[in-house]
Structure 1
Amino acid sequence: MTQPIQNFDVKGGPHLGRDHLPLLRAALKTAGLDGFIIPHEDEYNNEYLPANAERLAWATGFTGSAGAAIVLTGKAAVFVDGRYTEQVKAQVDAKLFEYVDLMEPGPAGWLKAHAPKGARIGYDPRLHAPDALARLKDGAKAAGAELIALDDNPIDAAWRDRPPAPRAAVVPHPEMFSGEDHGAKRRRIARELEAQGADACVITSPASIAWLFNLRGGDVACTPLPLAAALLDSDARATLFIEESKLTAAARAHLGNEVAVRPESEFGDALKAMSGKRVLADPASASVWVFQQLEAGGASVVRQSDPAALPRACKNAVEIEGARQAHIRDGEALVRFLHWLDTEAQSGHEDEITAALKLEEFRKALPELKDLSFETISAAGPNGAFPHYRVNTASALKLAPGSLYLVDSGGQYPDGTTDVTRTVPIGEPTAEMRRHFTLVLKGHIALSVIRFPEGTTGSALDALARAPLWMAGLDYDHGTGHGVGSYLGVHEGPQRIAKAPNAVALRPGMIVSNEPGYYEIGAYGIRIENLQVVTPPAPVEGGNRAMLGFESLTMAPIHRGLIDTTLLSPSEIAWLDAYHAEVRKRVLPRLDGEAATWLIKATEPLYGATP
């Protein structure tokens, strides 16, 4: 087997805070500062950060995907949400950092309570969104402190062995996968700018840049992103600001004459040169620094959502068919893995890491695989109760008899991005496990079969997935569904399915996850996740208006041994049998031997008739 894609060594840890906090405080003293704010975000607001942007991990030792820290002269705090309450204790020295909830009081509330009067606290404007910074400023002001924008990040100066910036090659994303050439995309967005009376828009989201210009790169783990920025004019001409050495000859030719290429170091000057122009910028993705440069140059700035975000979310016919094929292909690897779990892994000798590597081995056997779409959540027994658990050499548990094993994973293929969660028993499950699993399954089915009118948001559908659990006095504390890109990010907006209000209606072509769960702290976790695409409006028999719906994309069996059939209605059983029949139809031709035999058995109807 080749080298694994995933790294299971703990990269953070308390030693980092002990080693690096004095270096940071020395840099602050030299700069005449009394403190510094460290968000998790990088200059591009990425979900996954390149190694040179892991400033929060460098300063604190905390490696979670969301968090922040504030370092003052005499005290420091690290902020995490409920997903990371145990991880932060293991990775961050409590003698150096106070543990604080990321949401309440959050960094702004902590500043209000702890910032010394008259303190000058620095921040890097490239790493903060405008609204988040406004809250921090309010907190500091209430304490009598002042926030100072810095040209140079003191962590970058103190980080002696900082990795270099990524320089992965940027290549064209062919129209056979994108379904639309980048000139047509640029013209489509430009028409929107012209309709709004705007002269240009700033695009700083790497995912939007990858989509708009039909480019893919490798600057970020698990997501084929080229780190860059762009200006798009209302005449559809554009300027791409990128480290030019990353562009292959094919990428340069692909961009053509209507896209100018300039070094990323010139982005600030280009923003300042927009004097007198009406320029759109997204405060959710563009940093404070972008707005500062535009305003310093005299541009009229309009705060508005990234104009590429919604078109990117609504996949065209080519992208949808690509997603189908990627999931069928991914289904082969998943079935081989699920067969392994049901046979060899029942021994009790395997652990979370060997299981994750086995799944990776099956995916890497597919020649089309480019990367994983995120680091596999491989969680046995009580570790499954942490929805965003990340296995490492210090935490890995055995797949022990009498336990549940939860695996959440995905792959990146040129024609699509996959994300799937399955929960399987190791040994004989208890009646309680089967009951909880079946309640989760009922919610999953409800969100699979629902028909809904145009204009419906994910917030209106979220309760469907929770209702069976709610009726039993149970719930889960994460969202039910997130958007997924087309050979892009595994977490993509602007759509989502969650309790929190969301103003973006679900539209045909949007891909969302359907992943209700249940978590018994100290015992096990259960989650069932498929990706599904929103289907166009279609009539409903006996109805008076066309309705949208969902088509399941994920092709992997749901473990029949965890289902309590007495809790399912006939229509729910019919859905599961039909889904399993589709899995068998699509994936079985790719299999042979024991895996094929296992799939036939795993997709039998619950009451034994041949599908």
Structure 2
Amino acid sequence: MTADTAHFQHFDVTTQPSQGVTHVAALRAEMRKLGLDGFIVPHEDEHQNEYLPDANERLAWVSGFTGSAGAAIIFLDRAILFADGRYTLQSREQTDRSVFEVQDFHATSLADTVAGAAKGTVIGYDAALISPSSLATLESAAVGAGVILKSVSPNPIDLAWGPERPAQPMALIVPQPLEFSGVASADKRRHLANGLKSSNAAAALITAPSSLAWLFNIRGGDVIRSPLPLGQAILKADGTAELFIEPAKISDGLLEWLGNEVSVAGPQDVTERLTAFAGQAVLIDANLSSAYWLEAIKAAGATPIAADDPCLLPRACKNDVEIAGTQAAHIRDGALLSTFLHWVATEAQETLPTEIEVAQKLEEIRRTAGDVKDLSFDTISGFGPHGALPHYKVTVQSDLRTAPGNLLLVDSGAQYMDGTTDVTRTMAIGEPSAEHRRMFTLVLKGHIALATVKFPAGTTGTHLDVLARQFLWAEGFDYDHGTGHGVGVYLGVHEGPQRISKALNKYALQAGMIVSNEPGYYKENDFGIRIENLQFVTRAKVPAGGERPMYRFENLTWAPIDRRLIDVALLTPAERAYMDGYHARVLELVGPRVPDTVRDWLAQVCAPL
């Protein structure tokens, strides 16, 4: 796709499991030629993307599994697919169980499997697909077990895939205007160059597509769901840079936009250009880049410095223009989402659509807006027991029809030139039960606690995570995913380094960071609940006598929360006041943007509790 063409979700029949036998057999034939007993297949591609071009869907090709996180290891006599709890149903539906064992990442890891292999086993990997930090973990496991890890190129999956493998994407790269980006690329480069100097680095090798997009104020269309250009860059300590992209991707006016301080060359030229830094230090991110690039720096005679991608924190801390743009995008998206929620609350209660029909209806509403560039991820539309699977992906085979007496969970988002949205709403179909209302309200109380907290400078998302879980914990419940992830501005819907989670995170929440607020509850084989808004970090007013700088969250997402699921008796007066204020703001911001029938409904559902 070009950078201004929308991709909307399609619902194919699940990949035929019978392909697993054929594809694994073809891979094993290539493995034997290379003297391999096993081969590691990560989900990530050469750019460590979450969402991949079709040509890089190697895990999906060999296993049938199309989730956005996973891995496999193929031995000559067995094959194992690793996925986490988000993809329990999907991983089992999409794989041939006569070929693949399906294991949970949290129970058994790739490193555990390597460590459990027989001494002398030769396991191959593609260094272009594995980060240095991940490879170091695997190497440690291999050494302890007497297993041999072998880097191989070309990738044997690519050889087995053969001429049927799709071509690499060649979407045009276009400027992201200053009216949306807020800061010129030259100013960003100069700022980052000062950091390189202080680290005694002559340059940084940047391979993350989102960093390329942010640093050069460009967007692409190589990756579905995220407007990313695939390529690499070398940022030098004097603020100049070299951008390595396919010539076919250069749009009219792009070179002029980049300016004379940025030279452009093809991706095949990166390794040769690194030789200019022989005897000097080159920064590389060991988590976002690949082991291939670490070795390329060494081969060029330069000394690699493992450090964060210099774009990481500046990209996460949105400037005033980006915040204003994403606020505007969320209000427009809130009007579209409210129109959809009106449909669920009225027509859908009678027609009882399927999960696919629900997702298609929401996309149809968004498509009519005209300024949607893409979805920000495949819509999660889960009814009843499927709602209890946090990252459920509906297929033609798994599609359920809604029915009275249970809950519908819809997690969706869209890409606009001025912002990226991500919102989850849980809605009652028919009359909710007392259990539905109780559990929904416990989740809502945690959502409110996180939305309203003030916290001092230096606080991380790890410190705040308990706020969203406290009411569930008090009753003996929990959820097994993080509470919040970072979000970009017309970039990835999942963006680091900040997050709100039980897992340790070293990055303090700073002004301008966007995070989701999405506690949930999932009753296996019955129903699921999640309430998600996006919010950003801003300075908080310090009361008289206060001694420390404080921060708070400001809400971005504006769409009604199903009041039929709220047990008002479980809310404190302060929580009721918050909900009344939130809904009043929804009506104020969204009401003027929706049709009259939706506005009348909105006035009812946004009335004080």
Pairing partner for 1:124 from 123, 126, 134: 126
Asked whether the 8 Å contact 2:6–2:374 carries over to 1, the reply is: no
Cα 1:94/1:368, change in 2 over 3 Å? same
Shift of 1:352: 0.6
Cα 1:571/1:67, change in 2 over 3 Å? same
Pairing partner for 2:227 from 209, 224, 227: 224
Instruction: Tell me the distance in 2 between the aligned counterparts of 1:579 and 1:499.
Output: 27
Cα 1:593/1:228, change in 2 over 3 Å? same
Residue 71 of structure 2 corresponds to residue 68 of structure 1: yes
Pairing partner for 1:107 from 92, 106, 110: 110
Instruction: Tell me the distance in 2 between the aligned counterparts of 1:74 and 1:445.
Output: 52
Residue 582 of structure 2 corresponds to residue 540 of structure 1: no
- 2:284 is matched with 281
Instruction: Please say which of residues 201-210 and 129-138 is displaced more in the overlay.
Output: 129-138
Instruction: Please say which of residues 73-82 and 223-232 is displaced more in the overlay.
Output: 73-82
- 2:383 is matched with 380
Residue-pair matches, total: 604
Asked whether the 8 Å contact 2:206–2:233 carries over to 1, the reply is: yes
Shift of 1:89: 1.8
SS at match of 1:452: strand
SS at match of 2:399: coil
Asked whether the 8 Å contact 2:7–2:375 carries over to 1, the reply is: no
Which has the bigger relative contact order, CA under 8 A and spacing at least 6?
A: 2
Instruction: Tell me the distance in 1 between the aligned counterparts of 2:91 and 2:603.
Output: 44
- 1:609 is matched with none
- 1:329 is matched with 332
Matches within 5 A, 1:136-215: 136-160=138-162, 161-215=164-218
Deviations 1:379-407 (A, max 9, x none): 11110000000111111111111110000
Instruction: Please say which of residues 13-22 and 408-417 is displaced more in the overlay.
Output: 13-22
- 2:318 is matched with 315
- 1:574 is matched with 577
Instruction: Tell me the distance in 1 between the aligned counterparts of 2:109 and 2:94.
Output: 19
Instruction: Tell me the distance in 1 between the aligned counterparts of 2:45 and 2:68.
Output: 12
Asked whether the 8 Å contact 1:271–1:294 carries over to 2, the reply is: yes
Asked whether the 8 Å contact 2:202–2:277 carries over to 1, the reply is: no
Residue 437 of structure 2 corresponds to residue 440 of structure 1: no
Instruction: Tell me the distance in 2 between the aligned counterparts of 1:71 and 1:129.
Output: 19
Asked whether the 8 Å contact 1:540–1:546 carries over to 2, the reply is: no
Cα 1:193/1:19, change in 2 over 3 Å? same
Instruction: Please say which of residues 334-343 and 531-540 is displaced more in the overlay.
Output: 531-540
SS at match of 1:126: helix
Instruction: Please say which of residues 507-516 and 272-281 is displaced more in the overlay.
Output: 272-281
What amino acid sits opposite 2:455 in the alignment? F
Shift of 1:309: 0.6
What amino acid sits opposite 2:241 in the alignment? A
Instruction: Tell me the distance in 2 between the aligned counterparts of 1:546 and 1:447.
Output: 18
Shift of 1:272: 4.1
Asked whether the 8 Å contact 1:452–1:549 carries over to 2, the reply is: yes
SS at match of 2:80: strand
- 2:455 is matched with 452
Shift of 1:117: 3.0
Shift of 1:343: 0.4
What's the C-alpha RMSD, in Å, of the aligned pairs? 1.4
Shift of 1:348: 4.7
Instruction: Tell me the distance in 1 between the aligned counterparts of 2:128 and 2:572.
Output: 53
Q: TM-score scaled by structure 1? A: 0.97
- 1:406 is matched with 409
Instruction: Tell me the distance in 2 between the aligned counterparts of 1:86 and 1:396.
Output: 13
Instruction: Tell me the distance in 2 between the aligned counterparts of 1:92 and 1:511.
Output: 36
Asked whether the 8 Å contact 1:514–1:532 carries over to 2, the reply is: yes
Shift of 1:518: 0.5
- 1:47 is matched with 50
Deviations 1:40-87 (A, max 9, x none): 110000010110001011111111111111112222211111222222
Asked whether the 8 Å contact 2:461–2:499 carries over to 1, the reply is: yes
Cα 1:92/1:249, change in 2 over 3 Å? same
Cα 1:236/1:4, change in 2 over 3 Å? closer
Shift of 1:542: 5.4
Shift of 1:539: 1.7
- 2:344 is matched with 341
Shift of 1:367: 1.8
Pairing partner for 2:369 from 366, 371, 382: 366
SS at match of 1:576: helix
Instruction: Tell me the distance in 1 between the aligned counterparts of 2:204 and 2:257.
Output: 22
Asked whether the 8 Å contact 1:469–1:475 carries over to 2, the reply is: yes
Instruction: Tell me the distance in 1 between the aligned counterparts of 2:24 and 2:253.
Output: 45
Percentage of pairs with the same residue: 54
SS at match of 2:454: coil
SS at match of 1:558: coil
Structure 2 gap segments, 5+ residues each: none
Instruction: Tell me the distance in 2 between the aligned counterparts of 1:53 and 1:460.
Output: 37
Asked whether the 8 Å contact 2:538–2:551 carries over to 1, the reply is: yes
Instruction: Tell me the distance in 1 between the aligned counterparts of 2:104 and 2:386.
Output: 21
Shift of 1:543: 3.1
Deviations 1:158-191 (A, max 9, x none): 1030000011111000000000110101111111
Asked whether the 8 Å contact 1:348–1:400 carries over to 2, the reply is: no
Residue 551 of structure 2 corresponds to residue 552 of structure 1: no
Instruction: Tell me the distance in 2 between the aligned counterparts of 1:105 and 1:47.
Output: 22
Structure 1 gap segments, 5+ residues each: 607-611
Instruction: Please say which of residues 139-148 and 451-460 is displaced more in the overlay.
Output: 139-148
Instruction: Tell me the distance in 1 between the aligned counterparts of 2:266 and 2:134.
Output: 29
Asked whether the 8 Å contact 2:461–2:505 carries over to 1, the reply is: yes
Instruction: Tell me the distance in 2 between the aligned counterparts of 1:214 and 1:471.
Output: 47
Instruction: Tell me the distance in 1 between the aligned counterparts of 2:564 and 2:305.
Output: 55
Shift of 1:358: 0.6
Shift of 1:271: 2.8
Instruction: Tell me the distance in 1 between the aligned counterparts of 2:93 and 2:587.
Output: 44
Asked whether the 8 Å contact 1:274–1:298 carries over to 2, the reply is: yes
SS at match of 1:249: coil
Residue 136 of structure 2 corresponds to residue 134 of structure 1: yes
Instruction: Tell me the distance in 1 between the aligned counterparts of 2:22 and 2:275.
Output: 39
Instruction: Tell me the distance in 1 between the aligned counterparts of 2:171 and 2:340.
Output: 31
Pairing partner for 2:423 from 420, 424, 427: 420
Instruction: Tell me the distance in 1 between the aligned counterparts of 2:514 and 2:354.
Output: 32
- 1:389 is matched with 392
What amino acid sits opposite 1:38 in the alignment? V
Matches within 5 A, 1:243-262: 243-262=246-265
Instruction: Tell me the distance in 2 between the aligned counterparts of 1:338 and 1:577.
Output: 18
Asked whether the 8 Å contact 2:7–2:225 carries over to 1, the reply is: no
Deviations 1:355-390 (A, max 9, x none): 101101111111211111000001111100000001
- 2:60 is matched with 57
Shift of 1:101: 2.6
Cα 1:43/1:11, change in 2 over 3 Å? farther
